[in-house]
Structure 1
Amino acid sequence: MTATIALLAELVGFDTTSSRSNLALVGRVADRLDGIGARVRLSHDEGRGKANILASFGPCAPGGVVLSGHTDTVPVDDQSWSSDPFRLSERDGKLHGRGAVDMKGFIAACLAAAESFAATDLARPVHIALSYDEEVGCLGVPGLIADLLAHEERPELAIIGEPTLMRLGDRHRGFLGFRTRFEGKAAHSSDPSAGASAIYPAADFAGFLRAVGHRAGAIDRTTVNLGRIEGGSAINIVPSACELLWEFRPVTPEDAEETERLVGAYLARATPPDIRQSTRRQVHVPPLASAGTEPALAVAAALGGIGPPFAMPFGTEAGFFQAAGISAVVCGPGSIAQAHQPDEWIACAQLEAADAFMARLAGWACRRHS
């Protein structure tokens, strides 16, 4: 575990907040993995300021496993930390630092195990796949999966190491984020009839979203949330524009289609003729579905993942792998309760459990028969 902690300290030292480039971390990790014999590929965003890493060990053959994590973190702005968030510190068996649990702890365990992957006669490949911009909508992982499928044989399964306390997460809702804009006509407020207020139809739409999405049972039902409204310029001007940022979290792809149909039908019938309306999807994270018989679930359980499988309240990149025909499960060290918090931490005992999981995975990958 000493090697994993040392690697975690190095990873935390890179400020990879989603608003910043991750290339310094990517370069360091890619050099390390290339140096021990991995087949390393980088795939960049359009501006080439960020990159995914794909590092493959073993034969170029089907039936492998993907260890998936993301390199970006949420900001530390407006959070009160007891220590430097970009310097790993240990207190009472807890390792504190931004990204320590979400999810550089899992990445450190993967990197620590990489030497054993390189030194073992693997019968099936092991892929370490690290993406950018997960925290702002899983923007990097589609390109990472495309790169994987274009240059390696299709893996059998993917293990996404989001913090679950090493429990087996086999399902979660998706996430779709939208921006809806209403545009009217500005006028002096002494004669509102000379203009067309964009705020009134926006307010009506907000009420519609609340009626559709104000429900209980958040994990197993589609929910809707309005996160932000912005419009108008002054108290004495009829507002010419108003924007709403809203999202919904579907349980299944069919739920997603139905919710988008309901919203589209409402906007078509309820938008006044003197108002222009546009709605643009900005984020799409697919749900992770489970029938309880996925290969990834069985393998992760055999490697030490803790059952019974559970439904996660948060989204992950797992649905992208499943949509690409790769069986996926979520299982990683640490608790999601510590993620995104000031003084974020991961327990040393959780890293030890992740190391044991990786050691078993190396043994599984070198066996000729499952």
Structure 2
Amino acid sequence: MDTVEILRRLVAFDTTSHRSNLDLVNWAADHLDNAGARVRLTSDASGEKANILATIGPEGPGGIVLSGHTDVVPVDDQGWASDPFQLASRDGRLHGRGAVDMKGFVAACLAAVPGWQARKLRRPIHLALSYDEEVGCLGVPLLIADMLAHCPSPALAIIGEPTQMRIGLSHRGFYGYRSVFHGRAAHSSDPRLGSSAIEPAAAFVAALAGFGRQDGRVATTVNIGKIAGGSAINIVPERCEVVWEFRPPGEAAVDAVLADVERFAAGLPPGVSVETVPLARVLPLDCATDSPVVALTREFGGLWPPITMPFGTEAGFFQQAGIPALVCGPGSIAQAHQPDEWIASAELVAADRFLARIGSWTAEKGGV
């Protein structure tokens, strides 16, 4: 099957993050096994989510990891012109949830496997397909730990998030939290008998919005993703939940934001408390322009000059594990998470060329 046909199959699996991805995983694992790859699966505690690690070529160090995720964001409350889980072709664009983020890259990798297998590879190529990237890169730490436990250390990881095949060298980290405010319920005819959880939560939201605008932290962005609280118009609310995230330029900014959150919690009115717990952490990426892996990725067809990405990826987890990493993949991030999400057919052709060059290099040179 070619890349477009595989993408059609992948899009048809509804792998929205709150659902299981096992149908896609089982299909892809069968495809890889039939092509002769060595396949390993690792699962979350529920058994409803799984990672795929597939190796093509010999056992040995210095391999190349091609990393992608299998989950997609929801389509709820989005107006689509066609079924989001049926790939639709219009004017050179392929529409479907996950087409660009990032089942297009995954499809290109799966389509490339038979060609890699037909060559005598001197170093392995590892496909690393993880679960729950969209909700905080939850699957990739398990995948990397399993890979390092069972495979000699790879030389490079390329994360195929959409960069229009430009080489992405850096991005900020991501920190997600849930803050739950607890008050005391009362009849609204005399609010003094209770303690509203919503009012301090609203003040907290306003304070969060200001964190990213303060001097010295202009590159920190904050988003309030969800607010939920109260039960009726005539009851003083006893609970309010705020789900929020921030993306700092560095560790100093992380400490500064969390210190501000602690100071806010210390100043709450009597009868109100707050519990803030972490939900997700995506590690930052910082790859030097003179790194040998950058020159190698340019040899494969990664486009220059490099970019700094506004979005987070799994790359920082590979870097933390001692595997040099960068980002380079087909399509534009501007089309991700949108109704009628799409990837240009020409971008998939570019990805096919890129992956074919990886196969050629691994067969002909096989070292970094």
The equivalent of 1:173 in structure 2 is 172
Shift of 1:327: 1.0
The equivalent of 1:282 in structure 2 is 279
SS of residue in 1 equivalent to 2:79: coil
Partner deviation per Cα, 1:198-222 (whole Å, 9 max, x = no partner):
223223322321221247999x811
Letter in 1 for 2:228: E
Cα RMSD between the aligned structures? 2.1
Pairing 1:191–2:173 present? no
The equivalent of 1:114 in structure 2 is 113
Shift of 1:153: 1.2
- Within a 5 Å distance, the mapping from 1:305-344 to structure 2 comes to 305-344=302-341
SS of residue in 1 equivalent to 2:296: helix
Over 3 Å counting, the alpha-carbon distance change for 1:368 and 1:133 in structure 2 is closer
Equivalent residues, number: 367
Letter in 1 for 2:253: D
Over 3 Å counting, the alpha-carbon distance change for 1:216 and 1:262 in structure 2 is closer
Shift of 1:74: 1.7
Partner deviation per Cα, 1:164-200 (whole Å, 9 max, x = no partner):
1101111111111111112121122333332222223
SS of residue in 2 equivalent to 1:187: coil
For normalisation by structure 1, the TM-score amounts to: 0.93
SS of residue in 2 equivalent to 1:355: helix
Structure 2, unmatched stretches of 5+, are none
Over 3 Å counting, the alpha-carbon distance change for 1:299 and 1:196 in structure 2 is same
Letter in 1 for 2:207: F
CA contact (8 A) 1:231 1:243 kept: yes
Instruction: Return structure 1 stretches of 4+ with deviation > 6 angstroms.
Output: 215-218
Partner deviation per Cα, 1:28-47 (whole Å, 9 max, x = no partner):
11111112221100011111
Over 3 Å counting, the alpha-carbon distance change for 1:81 and 1:237 in structure 2 is closer
SS of residue in 1 equivalent to 2:360: helix
The equivalent of 1:348 in structure 2 is 345
Pairing 1:152–2:159 present? no
Letter in 1 for 2:238: S
Shift of 1:233: 2.4
Instruction: Supply the distance in 2 between the matched residues of 1:189 and 1:340 (Cα, whole angstroms).
Output: 41
Shift of 1:238: 2.3
Partner deviation per Cα, 1:259-318 (whole Å, 9 max, x = no partner):
223322332x31234322210011111111233233432221111111111111111111
Partner deviation per Cα, 1:240-270 (whole Å, 9 max, x = no partner):
2222111110222343233223322332x31
Pairing 1:33–2:32 present? yes
CA contact (8 A) 1:132 1:140 kept: yes
Letter in 1 for 2:248: P
Shift of 1:114: 0.8
Over 3 Å counting, the alpha-carbon distance change for 1:92 and 1:229 in structure 2 is closer
Pairing 1:238–2:241 present? no
Partner deviation per Cα, 1:314-356 (whole Å, 9 max, x = no partner):
1111111111111111111111111122222211111111111
The equivalent of 2:122 in structure 1 is 123
Instruction: Supply the distance in 1 between the matched residues of 2:12 and 2:339 (Cα, whole angstroms).
Output: 16
SS of residue in 2 equivalent to 1:188: coil
Structure 1, unmatched stretches of 5+, are none
Instruction: Supply the distance in 1 between the matched residues of 2:269 and 2:281 (Cα, whole angstroms).
Output: 29
Percent identity over the alignment? 60
